[in-house]
Amino acid sequence: MDMKTLKKLGREHFGSACRLCANCDGKVCAGEIPGAGGVASGASFKNNFEDLAKVQLRLRIVHEVHKPDCSFDLWGHKLAMPILAAPIGGIQFNWNNYINESEYCKHVIAGCKMAGAMGMTGDGKMPEIYGEGIEAIVESGGFGIPTIKPRPNELIIEKAAIAEKAGAVAVAVDVDAAALINITSSGQPVGPKSFNELVELKKNINLPLIIKGVMDPEDALAIAEAGIDGIVVSNHGGRVLDHTPGTAAVLPAIAKALEGKNMTIFVDGGIRTGFDVIKMLALGADAVLVGRPVTQAAVGGAEGVACLMNHLKSQMEAGMIMTGSQTLADITDRVIYKG
Ligand SMILES: Cc1cc2nc3c(=O)[nH]c(=O)nc-3n(C[C@H](O)[C@H](O)[C@H](O)COP(=O)(O)O)c2cc1C
């Protein structure tokens, strides 16, 4: 399996749902939901790509980094790279029926495990979607992180207990799906969380808890104050609110606000290469999530997903050599070109 074969398979299966553009920047699919696009004008998806593209790296050659180490410790789980597959719910109706939810979750979780990355699974308008993610996680011996929609707290706590029983590494809640059309139109109650509701979640969930969809330092601080273990800086791939900045633009201020707090910072949005991963770490993230490229790679099954993750890792290693970074700790804003 190689990246070229994956593209070829994708072209045979995705139809107009995803045109496999060279950049995957949200331009061609703008407004296509269901589909691969960002909401309305698609600006938030496009900004993810463009704000990250604006960050430039400092190319360094006088140093001693020959074999960089990009391994990452995620709450006691040693990963070969700081890369996770983002949760994707509703792949079947968003991606031209090329795959069903259950197969997708299995490919993502198993493929990530094969490569030494980690897979996350989603939730959606059909409650079975969450269960299919859990099944894949159980099959892999607990090597994954399920994500729950921002449902009423008692339901989230119930679903988190299922994740714990499955042996999951952590559990996430994508609070930025508070007004997601797919969910609200199916009559399922979702909504934002108050500070007290976050405290209640933390108190009643035994796994590390991640809040996904943070775009503002004030939210990040409140979430830290509530004792939450991780955040994903994310605008849901530009699918929930038109005209937000890209995540690369807001990440530095969020990371600064969280300095000294016990919080793992993940980020997603427009990350397409291992070089992009380096940029996001330099801007303040501990690890990244990759969304649409995984939906495309899963056309090659678990091996396709593993192929993508290995590809990102090898680009990352090349980028670490070219920025003089031996370990992830060396990837600071030192590697960003400031003119
Ligand atoms: C088709 C589709 C379905 C998604 N489903 C979920 C979901 O169920 N839960 C969630 O937290 N995020 C979901 N997301 C958002 C992704 O997890 C992630 O934040 C986003 O795709 C990252 O941007 P990227 O695709 O540009 O890498 C979905 C995104 C897409 C494109």
pLDDT digits over 243-259, tens only?
A: 999 999 999 999 999 99
Candidate of 29, 239, 279 to mutate for ligand 1, largest count of ligand atoms within 8 Å of Cβ:
239
Judged against a pLDDT cut of 80, whether residue 97 lies above it is answered with yes
Cα torsion at 320, 326, 327, 329 (round to 10°)? -90
Give the Å distance between the CA of 121 and the centre of ligand 1: 10
- Domain membership flag for residue 208: yes
- The string of pLDDT tens digits covering residues 131-149 is 999 999 999 999 999 999 9
- Domain membership flag for residue 166: yes
Give the Å distance between the CA of 236 and the centre of ligand 1: 5
Residue 185 has what pLDDT? 77
Structural domain harbouring 215: 3-56+70-332
- The string of pLDDT tens digits covering residues 275-320 is 999 999 999 999 999 999 999 999 999 999 999 999 999 999 999 9
- Domain membership flag for residue 91: yes
Number of domains the chain is built from: 1
- Domain membership flag for residue 339: no
Burial 238-261 (b: 16+ CB within 10 A, else e): bbbbbebbbbbbbbbebbebbeee
**Ligand 1 atom at minimum distance from 91 CA:** 1
- Domain membership flag for residue 63: no
Closest alpha carbon to 248 in 264, 224, 268, 263: 268
Ligand 1 site, residue 236, Cβ cutoff 6 A:
yes
- Domain membership flag for residue 83: yes
Give the Å distance between the CA of 28 and the centre of ligand 1: 17
Element (H, E) at 326: none
Residue 7 has what pLDDT? 97
Ligand 1 site, residue 270, Cβ cutoff 6 A:
yes
Domain of 103, CATH number, reads: 3.20.20.70
Tokens 């791939």: give the residue.
237
Angle, CA 14 vertex, CA 13 and CA 17 arms, to 5°: 160
- The string of pLDDT tens digits covering residues 1-34 is 999 999 999 999 999 999 999 999 999 999 999 9
Neighbouring C-beta atoms of residue 208, cutoff 10 Å: 18
- Domain membership flag for residue 11: yes
Give the Å distance between the CA of 24 and the centre of ligand 1: 14
Ligand 1 site, residue 237, Cβ cutoff 6 A:
yes
Enter the pTM of the model.
0.98
When pLDDT is averaged across residues 67-81 and rounded to a whole number, the result is 98
- Domain membership flag for residue 124: yes
Nearest CA to ligand 1 atom 14: 88
| Measured distance CA(135)–CA(301) in Å, rounded | 17
- The string of pLDDT tens digits covering residues 200-249 is 999 999 999 999 999 999 999 999 999 999 999 999 999 999 999 999 99
Is residue 115 classed exposed, middle or buried when 0-12, 13-18 and 19+ CB atoms within 10 A define those classes? buried
Burial 183-201 (b: 16+ CB within 10 A, else e): beeeebebeebeeebbebb
